[in-house]
Structure 1
Amino acid sequence: MMAIERHDDGDETEAERLAWTVVELADRHALGAVQRPWPGGTFAAVEVLMGMCSDDEDSAESVLNRLTEFRNPQTWAVAARSQEARRPARAKALYRRAADREDLNALERLALMERHRNTADAERLHRTAVNGGGRLGPLLAHWEDTGRADEAERARRYGLEIDGSIADPWPFRPSGPRER
């Protein structure tokens, strides 16, 4: 937050120093997707760094190159998000790198980027995220977007089996008095 405040006050040098400090500290404690240190701080720091060079392509490239040297997958995912509109190929590469380190949010963003180009790949990526413990919602939204609303509703209601198929409803058996 201090980096954002310094940036808003026009102190770009101090804002940059503080942002890199957060990225470096988060990277030092990067333990994978399950224990992402300071998720909000890392997001804000990368946003400050990318925002400071948004008009200068060479500076943006330099910051991106430096960010890719870190081990924290969230750092790559946030950098990727800032590149989605201008450089989708670069964004996809960064998302893939973060997804390879089990960042499920990066995997879902990658699936969203693929949905218009290749719906089969998008579904495969969504399913991989679900199998890794991610949310079911993005997969169901993908099914709805591709004309499979009935399947999405059944999966929402009954869930998925371990093999990825939609679970069957459990039969209802009213309980009666127990025999002894």
Structure 2
Amino acid sequence: MLKQALVLAALLLPGAYANAHEYTVGDLHIAHPWSLQLPPNAPNVAAYFIVHNNGKADDRLLSVDSPISDDAQLHEHAMGSNGAMKMQQVQSVAVPAGKDLVFAPSAYHVMLMQPKDRSLLADGKRFPLTLHFEKAGDITVDVAVQKQAPADQPQGHEHTH
């Protein structure tokens, strides 16, 4: 009976591992980087993730880059002067101590402008993204491309920057 349970657990493990990809460097933990499959006519693609700062000191995400684009930018959704939400580039994003920074649709996100290899942006593919933090340094993650947003995707919450 134990042997059967171990075999079953071993068979289930790769599937669970494939869905839950997480990265830790120092006090920062990056959970499930993902992107939506790129529609045929879309010129740019967004990437999302959650940064958990488990430390006692604030950090700051200074920039991002990826080999799939020559221009990767940090963006946020903000209320425009006309009362409509608009997307705008930001120079960096604060990662408060003991809190989560959520990169999600309608919140902070990474924009990859004019991706070079669109074949990497199909469902089931992955591409590298390097996050450059002020204190934690560089963290390279694999962004999972998906047909739809994860069901458990939290809504973004703004932090001052």
Q: Could you say which structure has the higher strand fraction? A: 2
Shared fold by TM > 0.5? no
Larger of the two Rg values belongs to structure:
1
Structure 2 length-normalised TM? 0.23
Greater RCO structure (CA 8 Å; 6+ sep):
2
Q: Could you say which structure has the higher helix fraction? A: 1
Structure 1 length-normalised TM? 0.21
